[in-house]
């Protein structure tokens, strides 16, 4: 097979519109000059990266994202760099789960998303990858209307020598400020063992999955407290309630099966949590066709994104799809064609466009 050495520069893209930002990056919607297709470009400023992330974690992110291929994982087609930034050329999404008006989705639609999340995590674990930062902001709805996990900035290969997620030495009480560089922002979806400075494993991702399932059904985070300190305590002591707090309304009241599923995951001891296979076999997911899940019609989320969430209304306007008021039943549809955004080679293989790229260590080493 011939390998085309396709590399990009930022001049290959036009009509840059900011559509999101994270701790390390700004995300733009762009068009590729040679093919009139929209992409997202994740732009990570090298100066910021030097201050906040190790070269090791950048390398891990680059190595991982380019090789991942699954309906429920965001495709990253290529990566390139210039003097100031690192760029990931990615599939374009509508927005993350917090941008979505979840209350307008049916119970069944949400169950489909829940199943897609389970499948995505199952795939990652099968590939020996721990995500370690699963939260609604890191789950996108993309143009194919499937959900996709993004942001592998905290991910790690299980086979590698583990780097403990040290928030606090286990003997100390929970800190007021997180010291784990891999946990930025609020620890709402982080498992007790990670908060306690122990090593993350598959069960830690599964904890975060349960917290996300609670969020997508209710519209509220499972844990909430006025300070990070109290939040840490709640999580570490597994203090939660699956019923609405005073003054809260849930989008959907949680059915018995979902409560049963969540309570069997949200236990402090990671070894006692349900495994991915247990979750797939749980009565909450009864009737889900796991084998053909990605070939079924996903929920139509065309106009369910809240207008006031994103400061870039232009983006939302560009991306509106026709609304389907139809049924919520899952109709099997044929497998999607090999949807490479770039023209495939004669073998129809688009992997050659995924330029193997490793961040040069000297770029990230402290000056």
Ligand X SMILES: Nc1ncnc2c1ncn2[C@@H]1O[C@H](COP(=O)(O)OP(=O)(O)OP(=O)(O)O)[C@@H](O)[C@H]1O
Name the residues that contact Mg ion, by CB under 5 A: 22, 138, 151
* Nearest to ligand X of 25, 284 (CB atom): 25
Kindly state whether residue 48 participates in binding ligand X, applying the rule CB under 6 A.
no
Kindly state whether residue 261 participates in binding ligand X, applying the rule CB under 6 A.
no
Answer for which of 57, 72, 96, 182 binds ligand X (CB under 6 A) is 96
Q: Least separation, in Å, of the C-beta of 151 and Mg ion?
A: 4
Residue matched to tokens 């688009």: 350
* Nearest to Mg ion of 93, 270 (CB atom): 93
In the residue annotation, 201 being an active-site residue is answered as: no
* Nearest to Mg ion of 185, 360 (CB atom): 185
Q: In terms of residues, how long is the chain? A: 367
Residue matched to tokens 């830690």: 204
Kindly state whether residue 13 participates in binding ligand X, applying the rule CB under 6 A.
no
Question: How wide is the angle at C-alpha 135 spanned by C-alphas 129 and 140, nearest 5°?
Answer: 90
Answer for which of 71, 90, 204, 304 binds ligand X (CB under 6 A) is 90
Q: Least separation, in Å, of the C-beta of 336 and ligand X?
A: 18
Which of 133, 151, 205, 310 is labelled catalytic?
133
Kindly state whether residue 155 participates in binding ligand X, applying the rule CB under 6 A.
no
Pick from ligand X, Mg ion, none: which does 109 bind, CB < 5 to 8 A by kind?
none
Q: Least separation, in Å, of the C-beta of 137 and Mg ion?
A: 5
* Residue 258, CB-side half-sphere exposure with 13 Å CA sphere: 22
Q: How far apart are CA 238 and CA 259, in angstroms?
A: 15
Residue nearest to ligand X (CB): 22
CB atoms within 10 A of CB 111: 24
Which residues belong to the active site?
133
Binding site for ligand X (CB under 6 A): 19-25, 27, 40, 42, 74, 90-93, 95-96, 137-138, 140, 150-151, 153, 184
């Amino acid at each position: 097979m011939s390998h085309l050495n396709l590399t990009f520069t930022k001049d290959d893209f036009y009509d840059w519109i900011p559509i999101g930002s994270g701790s390390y990056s700004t995300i733009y919607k762009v068009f590729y000059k040679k093919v009139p297709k929209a992409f997202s470009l994740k732009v990570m400023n090298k100066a910021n990266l030097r201050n906040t992330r190790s070269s090791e974690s950048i390398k891990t992110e680059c190595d991982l994202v380019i090789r991942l291929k699954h309906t429920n994982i965001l495709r990253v087609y290529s990566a390139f760099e210039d003097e100031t930034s690192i760029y990931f050329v990615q599939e374009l999404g509508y927005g993350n789960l917090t941008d979505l008006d979840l209350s307008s989705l049916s119970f069944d639609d949400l169950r489909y998303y829940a199943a897609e999340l389970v499948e995505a995590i199952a795939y990652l674990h099968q590939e020996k990858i721990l995500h370690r930062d699963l939260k609604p902001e890191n789950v996108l709805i993309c143009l194919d209307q499937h959900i996709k996990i993004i942001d592998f900035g905290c991910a790690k290969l299980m086979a590698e020598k583990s780097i403990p997620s040290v928030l606090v030495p286990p003997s100390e009480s929970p800190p007021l400020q997180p010291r784990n560089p891999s946990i930025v922002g609020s620890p709402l979806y982080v498992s007790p063992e990670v908060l306690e400075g122990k090593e993350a494993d598959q069960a830690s991702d599964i904890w975060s999955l349960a917290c996300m399932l609670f969020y997508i059904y209710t519209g509220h985070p499972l844990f909430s407290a006025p300070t990070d300190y109290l939040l840490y305590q709640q999580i570490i002591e597994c203090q939660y309630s699956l019923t609405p707090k005073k003054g809260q309304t849930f989008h959907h009241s949680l059915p018995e099966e979902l409560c049963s599923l969540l309570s069997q995951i949200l236990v402090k001891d990671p070894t006692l949590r349900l495994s991915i296979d247990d979750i797939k076999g749980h009565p909450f997911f009864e009737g889900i066709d796991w084998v053909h899940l990605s070939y079924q019609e996903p929920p139509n989320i065309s106009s369910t994104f809240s207008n006031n969430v994103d400061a870039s209304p232009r983006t939302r306007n560009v991306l509106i799809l026709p609304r389907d008021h139809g049924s919520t039943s899952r109709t099997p549809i044929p497998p999607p064609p090999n949807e490479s955004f770039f023209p495939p080679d004669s073998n129809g293989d688009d992997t050659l466009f995924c330029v193997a790229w490793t961040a040069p260590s000297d770029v990230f080493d402290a000056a």
